[in-house]
Amino acid sequence: MPNIGFGVFRMTDQAECEEAVVQAIQAGYRLIDTAAAYENEEAVGRAIKRCGISREDLFITTKLWITDTSYEKAKEGFYRSLKRLGLDYIDLYLIHQPYNDYYGAWRALEELYEEGKIRAIGVDNFTQDRLADFIFFNKIKPAINMIECNVFFQREDERQYLNQQNIVMQAWSPLAAGQGNLFTNPLLCEIAGAHNKSVAQIILRWIVQRGIVPVVKSSNPTRMKENLDIFDFTLTENEMKKIATLDTGHSYAMSRDTGDAVTDFLEKSSLYRV
């Protein structure tokens, strides 16, 4: 799996999403992250066909929504996503939220994995205690847990636990949607100046150095390239420690003016009833 990805959350304009994914792939991204709940899998699929990069060189992630989170419905949800994307297999398939019968859904995902329809299976938004229980009662351990992680909500306990379990941690909202005056933070600006980099690049480099895979989003081609340009420098141990002091221990995504992300999804979930 690539060590940085491009996400399309809230890209509901189909043409805009398609073009953004094409530009992201052309900029160098190989991990593309979408979900049934994002309502843009078809746009991502069209971009994959247009991009000029072979399917084998791309890593495509999508996610099972809560209305399909059961043994009976999980395969139906998976094959709908596969059809929308126009693909023969998915590189990574995640249970999007720990709601409904996610144990039953996991059994279905295990079967799809064993059939070769999915290269890896994982979970999204699972807390440590819920994940520990999940691991104990299932045959195949999740390869990934995708959770919110940024400088204001650093999730160090979760990171250490996932490392112990040999589960990769992916970070959604790695730039905290720019909240908390993130891009003008004096400490981050100081470190950015020392490396001749942007604040966003410093944050993404900090995440990667912690062994976490960030998934970033932008429709601006310049920013797409900038967010990828984080592998020609290293933050010092002292800089890493200074950034650690910014942790508030609280979610920024769940306090956005746009509303609670889970509530937003739950309100949309009727769109996915079959």
pLDDT string in tens for the chain (274-residue length): 999 999 999 999 999 999 999 999 999 999 999 999 999 999 999 999 999 999 999 999 999 999 999 999 999 999 999 999 999 999 999 999 999 999 999 999 999 999 999 999 999 999 999 999 999 999 999 999 999 999 999 999 999 999 999 999 999 999 999 999 999 999 999 999 999 999 999 999 999 999 999 999 999 999 999 999 999 999 999 999 999 999 999 997 764 433 344 555 455 544 444 3
Distance CA 67, CA 76 (A): 11
The β-bridge partners of 7 are 33
Distance CA 40, CA 272 (A): 13
Q: Based on the residue annotation, tell me whether 102 is a catalytic residue of this protein.
A: no
Question: Which of 38, 102, 113, 272 is labelled catalytic?
Answer: 38
Beta strands (DSSP E) in 99-234 are: 118-124, 144-148, 168-172, 213-216
Distance CA 104, CA 219 (A): 37
| pTM for the full predicted model | 0.92
Distance CA 82, CA 63 (A): 11
Distance CA 120, CA 7 (A): 18
3-state helix, strand, coil in the chain (%, to 5): 50, 15, 35
List, in order of start, the domains of the chain with CATH numbers: 5-272 (3.20.20.100)
